[in-house]
Structure 1
Amino acid sequence: MVKAQVRKIIVVIIGAFIFAFSMNFFLIPAGVYSSGFSGLSQLLSRLFSEYVNITISVGVWLFLLNIPVTILGWKKVGKTFTLYSFFSVIVSSFFLNIIPIQKLSDDILLNAVFGGVIGAIGIGMTLREGASTGGMDIIAVYLSRVIEGSVGKFTMILNSFIILSAGFLFGWEKSLYTLVVLFSSSKVIDLIHTQSQKLTVMIVTENSYDLKKAILSRLTRGVTIVPAHGAYSESGKDMLITVISRYELYELRKIIKEIDAKAFTNILQTDSVIGLFRKD
């Protein structure tokens, strides 16, 4: 258990470093905006610098913006997910402040593509360990639970605000390159983490009561229980069926391993869900 936690912390630190590197070597020098709270931090940093003459770094803004979101995530999304996400934010803010801002290319398109891809590698590594880079990830996960819609849909809506605001205030050309960042980063994140926004999970277990209880309390996802019968063992079992977002896959795997490591689990990609995608 301790070894797994240490490994998770190390991966989150490495992911945060890669993300900060992509920001300071590609996106920030080129004036191209990132997605999520990192992009909003860029926007606020430039706003305060040009209109109020107050210099606040992107790293500091990233940390400040995530404080209220962390409180929301702790109460509504999940303590483990939120704790490691905030740790990722702290480390990312630290690296953003200590890594020098340096331009490697004058080509805006190259900066947008490589910034998006390299940053997505860091984000994808973090997601695979059951955390996120905080900010809009947590907000999107929360909104997907209380309002019908996917995490990707809410993420795109929130990111659209950054694109429109940046374009209106500082010109449309560079802000539109944010779309290139969004596209390239989303493809890489899905490739590293999982290809689907939603996943259908079928768990065949002899300990359905404890598994059901843990999923309902820790993931706040609904569960359907279907009676099952083992053809080889001739024993009675239950099959638990649930639909989760990709951000919850790590936590579900952890739950299954803790309660019934021998449970047979089948994970399927889900294109869409009709009905309420939440606990109640």
Structure 2
Amino acid sequence: MDDLARKHQNMAKISAAILYGICVSIALNFFWEEGGVYASGITGFAQFIHTVTGRFMPFTLSTSLMIFLLNVPLFIIAWFKIGHHFTIYTFIAVVFSSIMVQIMPLTQLTTNPIICAIFGGVINGFGTGTALKNDISTGGLDIIGIVLRKKTGRSVGTINIIFNVILVFAAGFIFGWEHALYSILSIFVNGKVIDMVYTRQQKMQVMIITDNPKVVIQMIQDEMRRGITIVHDVEGAYNREEKTMLFTVISRFEMHDLEAVMKKADDHAFVSITEAVKIMGHFYEAKIK
């Protein structure tokens, strides 16, 4: 059974890597290149190098080649700081995306830079978020973002935005501020879509009012590995019945698991879930391998 689950997980990761390669190649060759928009992260830096070498040097380094070469040192960081399996699947995602960017033909759907910025950001953000959701990375700032998130608690999408501001200002200074502003729009959209899809880093505070605290606590701890704070002798204002209040914090990714647990443990419990602005202290996150 474990072997079957592992094979299913591996296939999901490979599928996510392939999906990302398709998404980034469509975003780049259908929208960003045609609209004069720079992508986020290593892809944008690869575009920047391609443009600089093409304009100011006697040779041109292709975007697809630079996507791979710029990721090589980051593979080393991921191998030692994140995990071996994570790095292997990230390598697959980067190689496949480099190949897809090279072979995908440039297609002019529109030259409107705003449309190109928005749709390029949405498509690439979806591919990146799906990869991260399956515990793999698309390379580049994703790796840096994951490492820094462990230390700072900032979301991956937010870290992407911060890093990319520097790239956009460099591109704007050399090639023009109009397209730099469109690139900022695309990077912002890309980061927000990543956060919408990759929900594992988003924390939710859960309040549970229950008549069966022992069962609820046991099931949450067994199936979700979450710590719980217990408040005894809570009284309901309507029936004046004594109940128990439980507090815990989960990721948005775990909301479906919580719903399943509560249906089994206490289907009549009152559950309130709110977004946690900031978490201080220890919050368990499964280790990426």
**Do they fold alike, i.e. is TM over 0.5?**
yes
Tell me the equivalent position of 2:277: 271
- Counting only pairs closer than 5 Å after superposition, residues 228-239 of structure 1 correspond to structure 2 as none
Tell me the equivalent position of 1:16: 21
Question: Which residue type is aligned with residue 122 of structure 1?
Answer: G
For the Cα contact (< 8 Å) 2:67–2:94, is it kept in 1? yes
Tell me the equivalent position of 1:122: 127
Q: How many residues end up aligned between the 2 structures?
A: 248
- Does residue 32 (structure 1) correspond to residue 43 (structure 2)? The answer is no
Could you tell me how far 1:190 is from its partner in structure 2?
2.9
Could you tell me how far 1:173 is from its partner in structure 2?
0.6
Tell me the equivalent position of 1:50: 55
Which structure has the larger Rg over C-alpha atoms? 2
For the Cα contact (< 8 Å) 1:48–1:56, is it kept in 2? yes
Once residues 55 and 121 of structure 1 are traced to their aligned partners in structure 2, the CA distance between those partners, rounded to angstroms, is 30
Q: Which secondary structure state, in structure 2, belongs to the residue aligned with residue 47 of structure 1?
A: helix
Tell me the equivalent position of 1:198: 202
Question: Which residue type is aligned with residue 52 of structure 1?
Answer: M
Could you tell me how far 1:29 is from its partner in structure 2?
2.1
Tell me the equivalent position of 2:242: none
- Does residue 95 (structure 1) correspond to residue 100 (structure 2)? The answer is yes
What's the TM-score, normalizing by structure 2? Answer: 0.70
Q: Render the CA deviation track for 1:194-237: whole Å, top value 9, x for unaligned.
A: 2x74336999568989x98xxxxxxxxxx86879xxxxxxxxxx
Could you tell me how far 1:70 is from its partner in structure 2?
1.2
In 2 relative to 1, CA 204–278 (structure 1 residues): closer, same or farther, beyond 3 Å?
A: closer
Q: Which secondary structure state, in structure 1, belongs to the residue aligned with residue 38 of structure 2?
A: coil
Once residues 127 and 154 of structure 2 are traced to their aligned partners in structure 1, the CA distance between those partners, rounded to angstroms, is 26
Could you tell me how far 1:6 is from its partner in structure 2?
1.7
Q: Render the CA deviation track for 1:145-202: whole Å, top value 9, x for unaligned.
A: 33564434432221111111101111111011112112322333333332x7433699
Could you tell me how far 1:276 is from its partner in structure 2?
8.0
Could you tell me how far 1:117 is from its partner in structure 2?
1.5
- Counting only pairs closer than 5 Å after superposition, residues 1-280 of structure 1 correspond to structure 2 as 1=5, 2-147=7-152, 149-194=154-199, 197-199=201-203, 269-274=275-280
Once residues 54 and 283 of structure 2 are traced to their aligned partners in structure 1, the CA distance between those partners, rounded to angstroms, is 42
Could you tell me how far 1:26 is from its partner in structure 2?
0.6
Question: Which residue type is aligned with residue 112 of structure 2?
Answer: D
Could you tell me how far 1:107 is from its partner in structure 2?
1.1
Structure 2 spans left out of the alignment, 5+ residues: 207-215, 231-245, 257-263, 266-270
For the Cα contact (< 8 Å) 1:45–1:58, is it kept in 2? yes
The two structures, once aligned, show a CA RMSD in angstroms of 3.8
Could you tell me how far 1:99 is from its partner in structure 2?
0.6
Q: Which secondary structure state, in structure 2, belongs to the residue aligned with residue 178 of structure 1?
A: helix
| % identical equivalent positions | 32
Question: Which residue type is aligned with residue 276 of structure 2?
Answer: T
Q: Render the CA deviation track for 1:31-86: whole Å, top value 9, x for unaligned.
A: 20011111111111111221222211111111111111111111112333333222
In 2 relative to 1, CA 149–33 (structure 1 residues): closer, same or farther, beyond 3 Å?
A: same
What's the TM-score, normalizing by structure 1? Answer: 0.72
For the Cα contact (< 8 Å) 2:54–2:60, is it kept in 1? yes
Q: Which secondary structure state, in structure 2, belongs to the residue aligned with residue 20 of structure 1?
A: helix
Worse overlay, 42-51 or 77-86: 77-86
